[in-house]
Amino acid sequence: MRKEFSSAIEELAAEDDSIVFITGDLGYNALENLQGKLGKRFINAGVAEQNMVGVAAGFAHKGYKVFCYSIAPFIVYRCLEQFRNDVCFHNLPVFLVGNGGGYGYGIMGSSHHTLEDIACLSGLQNANVWVPAFSDEVGPVIRQIVADAHPAYLRLGAGKTTPDNSYSSGSFKVIHKGAEAEMTVFALGPVANNVMTALGQIPEIASKINVITALHFPLKIENDLMEILASAPHIMVAEEHIGTGGLAQQLSVQLLEKGVGISSFKSLKAEGYPNSRYGSQAYHQKLSGLDAASIAGYISQMMIPA
């Protein structure tokens, strides 16, 4: 999604002179086009993420809209206090952009993984969190972030394009609606691609499954989504994030508050490092049951026989 992100920023910067882009000494061989287009509005803050966000807050206070870019763990954990105190409390248009969310940086290990970012940021005052599942969502999300002009975090990964006939509903997007749906699978971010692959492995029951992605926090559940869940009340959530503070926990609270009846609930989440080893993103997804084959197996187990 980094290519789509870079293109979207380039277009916006050409339209809006208030756009400023600050990188934490990252983005080589990917962001040179932005440096050329933005000129002095492109700033390399160096390996100093806390200072980067403080500087961004100063720019925002003077009327600029500022993107702060780094890999996800650096932009989230290193400057959490500055984002909370300098940006969110003052409701300033500073937008954190983290590349490689979840296990995206694979063999580089836990210091480069981002498994708690939604929990850390979605509860901050005035903050919005965006997690695109598909590459073609990045451009529209960037434009919405700028239009909202509130503190925001954008988690980037690697995704395909949105399936045909998808449609948005509140914070969510329905990407597959089964004609005889009994079960609804919620997915966070690019793991939605694994869910769709899983459906292809169990075609005999694909018509009994809905697949919905969560694009935006705080979650907003519209009435049409509640109607979908009423007819397909077996719920599974798949997310490359820890269970605490993630999609499953936040979704379950909303459903309870709205009195939505759920027949069963299964949470597939990032399990950390159960064997104390590091590997590729695919390796960690498999250990957590987030690969397509595991998801297909869990769906099959949860389905009630006709």
Chain segment 31-75, per-residue pLDDT in tens: 888 888 888 999 999 899 999 999 999 999 999 999 999 999 999
Angle among Cα 221, 222, 224 to the nearest 5 degrees reads: 125
Query: What is the reported pLDDT for 303?
Result: 83
* Residue 18 and residue 152 in one domain: yes
Q: Whole-model pTM?
A: 0.94
Answer yes or no: is 49 within a domain. yes
* One domain for residues 147 and 205: no
Quick one: 30 and 148 in the same domain?
Answer: yes
Q: Are 115 and 108 in contact (CB under 8 A)?
A: no
Q: Give the pLDDT confidence score for residue 304 in this predicted structure.
A: 58
End position of a domain, from candidates 103, 135, 156:
156
Residue 197, in any domain of the structure: yes
Taking 70 as the pLDDT cut, the residues of the chain under it are 27-30, 304-306
pLDDT of residue 306: 47
Measure Cα distances from 180 to 107, 173, 174, 183, 206 in Å: 41, 19, 15, 9, 9
| CATH of residue 282 | 3.40.50.920
pLDDT tens figures, 189-220:
999 999 999 999 999 999 999 999 999 999 99
Cα–Cα distance list, 6 to 13, 41, 115, 205, 249 (Å) = 11, 14, 24, 39, 32
Q: What pLDDT, on the 0 to 100 scale, is given for residue 71?
A: 93
Final residue of a domain: which of 131, 156, 181?
156
Query: pLDDT at position 26, please?
Result: 80
On whether residue 113 sits in a domain, the answer given is yes
User: Residue 161: inside a domain, yes or no?
Assistant: no
Specify whether 45 is located in the same domain as 130: yes
Q: Does 137 map to a domain?
A: yes
The total domain count for the chain is 2
Same domain as 213, residue 149: no
Within 10 angstroms of residue 205's Cβ, the number of other Cβ atoms is 17
Query: What pLDDT is attached to residue 305?
Result: 56
Range of the domain at 102: 2-156
